[in-house]
């Protein structure tokens, strides 16, 4: 009987530990959302237009990023006299990359689209992740940062690292593709600033493509709720 009581106690303790662990993941994500301005504030954002300067291979490259919440994401980068475009919408993605020999729009492979499509949402996939069919798992800490693994409805995974002091996202790690080869992409975020709208955004973004290629971008201009034509996210015919 004593052994049975101890076994039941162990099961109960394990169950409570798992439940608390899951709740803690949700609490961290909720605090992260609050740090960005709160769910109510974010729900009022229909679009974000950003101008940035990227440092690529020692050269400055102007970048325009456009997000129409839940509808589309697009980046346009001017580099060495060429314009590199990547766009995503609710159905798929495409890109034009003259530096890779593509001067016309080419559809993104399905796996690349699934890995990147969370960018069509303001705030990324952590916002309303459960409603989108995602699952969050707290994996403890790495250094001082909370480590949360998020698995999307399409089984794409991203690991997020959140600062417990500010609840800002410090970096995100996911599997990606570079020139047809799988790579681990690490994106680091810093210099968070509050916009006039009250939404907080990182103004310094550093991207590492598996150690073989890296670049950084500094945001110079942000416009919230600018009128955006959804057609800009459609693949040219």
What is the number of residues in the chain? 237
How far apart are alpha carbons 21 and 18 in whole angstroms?
5
pLDDT for residue 196: 94
C-alpha 39/C-alpha 130 separation (Å) is: 14
The CA-based angle 205-98-227, given to 5 degrees, is 55
Nearest to 100, CA basis, from 174, 177, 182, 156: 177
- pTM here is 0.83
The pLDDT of residue 6 is 38
Model pLDDT, residue 212: 77
- pLDDT tens for the 237 residues of the chain, in order: 443 343 444 434 434 444 434 348 999 999 999 999 999 999 999 999 999 999 888 889 999 999 999 999 999 999 888 899 999 999 999 999 988 777 899 999 988 888 888 899 998 889 999 998 999 999 999 999 999 999 988 888 999 999 999 999 999 998 866 666 678 899 999 999 999 999 999 999 999 988 778 889 999 999 999 999 999 999 998
Q: How far is CA 116 from CA 9, 12, 69, 156, 177, in A?
A: 44, 40, 14, 9, 11
Could you tell me the residue range of the domain that residue 136 belongs to?
2-233
**What's the CATH code of the domain at 131?**
2.50.20.10
Domain count along the chain: 1
Among all chains, which residue has been given the structure tokens 């504030």? Answer: 41
C-alpha 52/C-alpha 57 separation (Å) is 16
Q: What are phi and psi of 66, to 5 degrees?
A: -125, 130
Residues in contact with 30: Cβ distance below 8 Å, sequence separation at least 6, in sequence order? none
Q: Is 217 left (phi over 0), alpha (psi -120 to 50) or beta?
A: beta
Cβ–Cβ under 8 Å, residues 78 and 61: yes
pLDDT of amino acid 209: 85
d(CA 204, CA 189): 6
What count of Cα atoms within 13 Å lies in the side-chain half-sphere of residue 13? Answer: 6
- State the pLDDT at residue 103: 83
């Amino acid at each position: 009987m004593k052994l049975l009581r101890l076994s039941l106690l162990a099961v109960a303790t394990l169950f409570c530990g798992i439940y608390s662990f899951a709740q803690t993941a949700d609490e961290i994500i909720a605090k992260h959302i609050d740090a960005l301005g709160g769910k109510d504030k974010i729900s009022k954002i229909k679009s974000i237009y950003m101008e940035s300067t990227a440092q690529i291979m020692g050269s400055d490259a102007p970048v325009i990023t456009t997000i129409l919440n839940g509808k589309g994401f697009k980046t346009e980068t001017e580099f060495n006299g060429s314009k590199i475009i990547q766009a995503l919408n609710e159905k798929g993605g495409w890109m034009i990359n003259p530096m890779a020999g593509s001067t016309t729009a080419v559809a993104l492979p399905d796996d690349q689209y699934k890995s990147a499509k969370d960018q069509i949402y303001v705030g990324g996939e952590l916002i309303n992740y459960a409603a989108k069919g995602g699952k969050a798992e707290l994996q403890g800490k790495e250094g001082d940062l909370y480590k949360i693994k998020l698995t999307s409805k399409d089984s794409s995974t991203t690991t997020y690292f959140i600062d417990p002091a500010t609840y800002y996202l410090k970096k995100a790690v996911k599997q990606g593709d570079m020139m047809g080869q799988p790579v681990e992409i690490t994106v680091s975020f810093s210099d968070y600033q509050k916009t006039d709208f009250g939404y907080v955004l990182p103004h310094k973004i550093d991207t590492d493509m598996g150690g073989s290629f890296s670049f950084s971008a500094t945001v110079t201009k942000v416009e919230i709720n600018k009128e955006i034509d959804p057609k800009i996210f459609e693949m040219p015919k």
